[in-house]
Structure 1
């Protein structure tokens, strides 16, 4: 026996073998063919304690249906058919195959605990007939899983990874990122020990069951990758995955065809079928791009040369920054072009037949058929749209810290005709467009239904980011022609946060709404101050600008965004003899004002460091506020006036 040594072997014991549906070598260390060396008594004890938490079979069936109705489409970490078959064995006195064991039992308990969070009024009434209190039952299960988490992760199995994914995302999306981060980290380490990040090489044909298990391994890995990226993006945490160490393939949207018939819609534009797995594949690709954004622009990775906080040469630093923003923007547009028609939010085929209310959705238990399929496609399209617009803000935010002036005329402002070739001004337009597009999504009927699904907090985080973006733009451009449109977009985002707070009862939505309301008050105070300090002629001119802004805002935002996107596409080069750049003092002042308001100091308080708690020990802050901190751009320090590079190409944002 060498079980105590890393990579050691254990004898194969029938009572300790993990479920038969696992791939070979699913133990924690390479070469192991059975569960880790847990003593038999300990193994039986934790299994018995987990089984004791199982609800009645009828309740379990309802909650499993709820999970696949509300949550599975967003996660997709295991095959639905396999899961539905396996959980029944937990209730069979003589299961058809080996007992699922503690690994699957822990996954099952977390599944039903999360499902308890998403039971509507109708399903709550059904639970009451079995004397089940959803809140109390959920707390009971989650408290026990937390207490036994070390025992569960010591199994070192695929099910242990799935448990960490489910538990970690639950805490992440329900206001406890400080707990979610280490739990997901456990899942990452087990996944790496199981080589989920590596391609599996086989010789000869493999059985359908083995093929499905390989796809499950890939689903788990990409779920871990997305969570790691999302946490890094939302809270500024360092990314713990090196892409150079990973060679596992992306998910295959058609992988299930060999054994079952998934939901498929033929996309005539791309001449290929689009399945419900297409969403997960697209989200994984986007996560890779976002990771590169975080690493390349914000220094949130662990690759050599990307976390250096030392001061670089200012001119080459900004030159590199603009080139990276340009390249990442192009990658985002290419990703957007890959989205199949059923996953477009305005696709007529998926919006024609779907649910009309949350109540109707709640009553359709164990849903299937065209109505449910279209509903899932629209939810996935919604999540992709939010994620894309958020990524655009993330890409272009670094350039908002600078402004340009004409070398021939230092007083030439950024709104002049020459700014159509200015990459910094184009980034400002891209951020405005992305935030306004996000505000328009709330008018889509699927948004109101999404508040009753697992994606509610995900949408809330991205809505918050767009709201902060518009608050900043309105703050630095008071009474400008864009001001009215910006404030109308902010109003829509506030309504979206109110809806998410009311329907999902999410702590993230509540906190985000409170912050946006305080920032909105700041915007209005600055506009009032600007209005009262203007002379009569200035007031008249500003009022005329507001009328123009009002007329422009009455047009469809999509048309406005399309025009601005065309401008980005046309700006292929930047003339180095035309511009100088400087740090934008209006942006710095706006961030300083925001920081004082968020800390309840008021505008008259003395200046303090921007977001001082963001980088303090043990601090957990509101989602994605860190990108507005003074130290967020680790690679690109504050610089003085320098020439803009001449060979920067910007691609147009897809409309």
Structure 2
């Protein structure tokens, strides 16, 4: 009524805003006329544009259904027809479209790997020039921000990735998407489900970037469950009609179903980060069984409780989204198989993050206990820690093998896996766990060195395979090789001098108090004098196909800074930032 009185908008105009939420702007968001100004834009050739948007639907939308595919495709066709005024808020649509092109350019298998970043940056620049950050707010801008966050995941630029995801969350909140009544009052089911998918996309990306960059979540657990999850229904089935009327016998959507399972998994991830990586996590003893295996206060969960939730989540997955299913030749079958593999990858990584602090604590304690027998009173706790550490190593090996087996024929191929930047994250995290496993004689009794070295070889082979995607990957592989060579040597040297030495408890556990699973500020010294040595000279240390090793001079600086209490190299990822 107020809008009608102030601006003269008719009830029909107001209704159209509800029917097209991706175009809706806030009445109080500033100069809403900015989007109606004339502007120039550039489009790629039609064949190229068709390829890029097809890549988006095939590889991105099936995992992150933030967009109304039908509406976006309709507007895309109108754009090429050139009819004046057929696309409302054409500027914001062109921004979204160029963002789609930028993200798709990083995944397009028909483009040489070395050319992808250059093409993607071109489209990002166009999208950035069309972006409206301050003066307007719409669901479409939220979608653009989320996709730009995903784009910057592929560029190893944490700051813009973090900022764009934050902009998406703040814009969504300003639109009221975090309130259940906003979607409940939508004019139809299709609009309601879109609003819910977009808001839960904000929650998902918030947790993903927090996991990757080791920073606190913006959306708390209570706010995350306020808005109902999207329905697992095909978009085509969400026909126009009253939002309160649920159509009967709707076809289940593999896209929405996968999305809902991912959202539930990342709710568990949030609890892992909060309980074992936040600044609230304080440990008083190297092996604090109460902290890991018993709830000390309301709102905190133990390893066993979260592990049980993971078990229940895994059992709730439909059979066609489990990796036990075989890949099918048809398009739907291959899509389902890829979704199943990615769900498997994600749950392995969450489980790895859950068990990694236990592994870290166990290794630190074993270092100082040496060969001393475990007191009977603490034997059960010790064995529990040991088994958790062994399972952590087993999960790391599975994560590596999943990527090794599922990759495509060429480095630029997606295969049946997540995007390459996620695979690099999973591989690096898993490889550091394997390095840590070699430090524990108790773990090596249960997990053979042959298995560890085989997993290491596979991880390094795939990481080397991904090297053309960016210099940051080369730095990660260099870091891993340095750690693989240096850390066991340093631990062996320090262990001989550790008898009778009482560890500094604060130092021994500070790696667990950094507030994150992967704090980017960690930046190991860049190694020098990297030499290629014959295979025979490294056969006793590295698998035979891993010919890069480090000369003894590389370790001189490492000697002066090495601290056996500090396992931050296990708990962090040396990202740029």
Q: Please tell me the TM-score bracket, short chain as reference.
A: 0.7 to 0.9
1:70 to 59, 68, 78: 59
Partner of 1:429: 390
> C-alpha separation between the residues in 1 aligned to 2:184 and 2:228?
17
CA contact (8 A) 1:153 1:186 kept: no
State the 1:139 CA deviation. 2.7
> C-alpha separation between the residues in 2 aligned to 1:479 and 1:314?
21
User: Could you say if the C-alpha distance between residues 39 and 377 of structure 1 is closer, same or farther in structure 2, counting changes exceeding 3 Å?
Assistant: closer
> C-alpha separation between the residues in 2 aligned to 1:97 and 1:500?
43
Partner of 1:175: 156
Matches within 5 A, 1:93-108: 93-94=82-83, 97-108=86-97
1:278 to 231, 251, 257: 257
The size of the alignment, in residue pairs, is: 501
> C-alpha separation between the residues in 2 aligned to 1:493 and 1:258?
43
> C-alpha separation between the residues in 2 aligned to 1:203 and 1:378?
33
State the 1:313 CA deviation. 6.8
State the 1:320 CA deviation. 3.6
Partner of 1:48: 39
Structure 1 residue 491 corresponds to structure 2 residue 457: yes
State the 1:514 CA deviation. 2.5
Structure 1 residue 501 corresponds to structure 2 residue 494: no
Partner of 2:401: 440
> C-alpha separation between the residues in 2 aligned to 1:281 and 1:228?
16
Partner of 2:20: 22
Structure 1 residue 382 corresponds to structure 2 residue 360: no
CA contact (8 A) 1:21 1:213 kept: yes
> C-alpha separation between the residues in 1 aligned to 2:100 and 2:184?
36
State the 1:160 CA deviation. 0.3
> C-alpha separation between the residues in 2 aligned to 1:93 and 1:16?
26
CA contact (8 A) 2:400 2:459 kept: yes
Partner of 2:166: 185
> C-alpha separation between the residues in 1 aligned to 2:506 and 2:456?
23
Matches within 5 A, 1:109-128: 109-121=98-110
CA contact (8 A) 2:142 2:168 kept: yes
Structure 1 residue 160 corresponds to structure 2 residue 158: no
User: Could you say if the C-alpha distance between residues 382 and 315 of structure 1 is closer, same or farther in structure 2, counting changes exceeding 3 Å?
Assistant: closer
Question: Structure 1 stretches of 5 or more lacking a match?
Answer: 125-132, 261-271, 300-306, 355-370, 534-580, 590-594, 627-655
SS class of match (1:442): helix
State the 1:104 CA deviation. 1.9
> C-alpha separation between the residues in 2 aligned to 1:596 and 1:256?
45
Matches within 5 A, 1:437-516: 437-445=398-406, 452-453=413-414, 455-477=419-441, 480-481=444-445, 482-502=448-468, 505-507=469-471, 509-516=473-480
Partner of 2:290: 319
Output the TM-score relative to the length of structure 1.
Answer: 0.65
State the 1:113 CA deviation. 2.3
SS class of match (2:463): helix
> C-alpha separation between the residues in 1 aligned to 2:176 and 2:382?
48
User: Could you say if the C-alpha distance between residues 90 and 479 of structure 1 is closer, same or farther in structure 2, counting changes exceeding 3 Å?
Assistant: closer
User: Could you say if the C-alpha distance between residues 524 and 372 of structure 1 is closer, same or farther in structure 2, counting changes exceeding 3 Å?
Assistant: farther
1:395 to 354, 374, 377: 354
Greater Cα shift, 278-287 or 240-249:
240-249
User: Could you say if the C-alpha distance between residues 227 and 164 of structure 1 is closer, same or farther in structure 2, counting changes exceeding 3 Å?
Assistant: same
CA contact (8 A) 1:27 1:155 kept: yes
Greater Cα shift, 327-336 or 84-93:
84-93
Matches within 5 A, 1:292-311: 292-299=271-278, 307-308=279-280
User: Could you say if the C-alpha distance between residues 614 and 198 of structure 1 is closer, same or farther in structure 2, counting changes exceeding 3 Å?
Assistant: farther
User: Could you say if the C-alpha distance between residues 490 and 474 of structure 1 is closer, same or farther in structure 2, counting changes exceeding 3 Å?
Assistant: same
Structure 1 residue 38 corresponds to structure 2 residue 1: no
Partner of 1:604: 559
Partner of 2:181: 200
CA contact (8 A) 1:103 1:155 kept: no
Partner of 2:312: 334
Structure 1 residue 622 corresponds to structure 2 residue 577: no
> C-alpha separation between the residues in 2 aligned to 1:479 and 1:611?
17
Structure 1 residue 222 corresponds to structure 2 residue 200: yes
1:235 to 213, 216, 226: 213
> C-alpha separation between the residues in 1 aligned to 2:442 and 2:373?
19
CA contact (8 A) 2:374 2:382 kept: no
State the 1:598 CA deviation. 5.0
User: Could you say if the C-alpha distance between residues 24 and 313 of structure 1 is closer, same or farther in structure 2, counting changes exceeding 3 Å?
Assistant: same
SS class of match (2:372): coil
> C-alpha separation between the residues in 2 aligned to 1:497 and 1:315?
33
> C-alpha separation between the residues in 2 aligned to 1:527 and 1:320?
26
CA contact (8 A) 2:178 2:199 kept: yes
Q: Deviations over 1:31-58 (max 9, x none)?
A: x3xx844264x4344x513xx1223444
> C-alpha separation between the residues in 2 aligned to 1:178 and 1:342?
37
> C-alpha separation between the residues in 2 aligned to 1:113 and 1:596?
29
Partner of 1:347: 325
User: Could you say if the C-alpha distance between residues 188 and 24 of structure 1 is closer, same or farther in structure 2, counting changes exceeding 3 Å?
Assistant: closer
Structure 1 residue 138 corresponds to structure 2 residue 102: no
> C-alpha separation between the residues in 2 aligned to 1:597 and 1:315?
25
State the 1:169 CA deviation. 1.0
> C-alpha separation between the residues in 1 aligned to 2:443 and 2:357?
24
State the 1:238 CA deviation. 1.0
Question: Structure 2 stretches of 5 or more lacking a match?
Answer: 240-250, 295-301, 497-502, 512-521, 528-555
State the 1:116 CA deviation. 2.6
State the 1:474 CA deviation. 1.2
SS class of match (2:479): helix
CA contact (8 A) 1:89 1:95 kept: no
> C-alpha separation between the residues in 1 aligned to 2:290 and 2:413?
45
State the 1:25 CA deviation. 9.9
State the 1:239 CA deviation. 0.7
> C-alpha separation between the residues in 2 aligned to 1:187 and 1:382?
28
State the 1:234 CA deviation. 1.4
State the 1:478 CA deviation. 9.7
Structure 1 residue 87 corresponds to structure 2 residue 76: yes
Partner of 1:287: 266
